[in-house]
Amino acid sequence: MTFVTKLHFASGDRDVLAETVQELKETLERKGAECKGPHASPSERVTVPLYKDLSPGDEFSPWRYDVYHRSMEIHGADDIARSVVARGFPDSIHVEVEVGQKKPLGHRRD
């Protein structure tokens, strides 16, 4: 069975996100890992209410910002995937990691 490591990135800083994900892809390719992505998803508009104090109804204009998403998959290369996940990412990027197994096609389940 082959392990598939899925990486999901989210950030409000599109430039840092794009640079980080591109650098990661180049590193994976240089090490010979099979990598799919990065795939971009539509950005998400977030609105956060801001209150002047704890009393209800006394508000500032809400804070609005965009969150950008990218995803990648690493097939096989478990040691490389492990080292990539363990590396440090900028504080402005939220990273989620999902590890799964993929069975080769044509194999029966006994």
Edge-to-edge, what's the strand order for the sheet holding 59-75?
A: 34-51, 59-75, 2-11, 93-102
Q: What is the pLDDT along the chain (110 residues), one digit of tens a residue?
A: 688 999 999 999 999 999 999 999 999 999 999 999 999 999 999 999 888 888 777 888 999 999 999 999 999 888 888 888 888 899 999 999 998 887 666 655 55
Instruction: Give the residues across from 2 on adjacent strands.
Output: 102
2-102: what CATH class? Answer: alpha beta
Give the Cα separation of 82 and 85 in Å (integer): 5
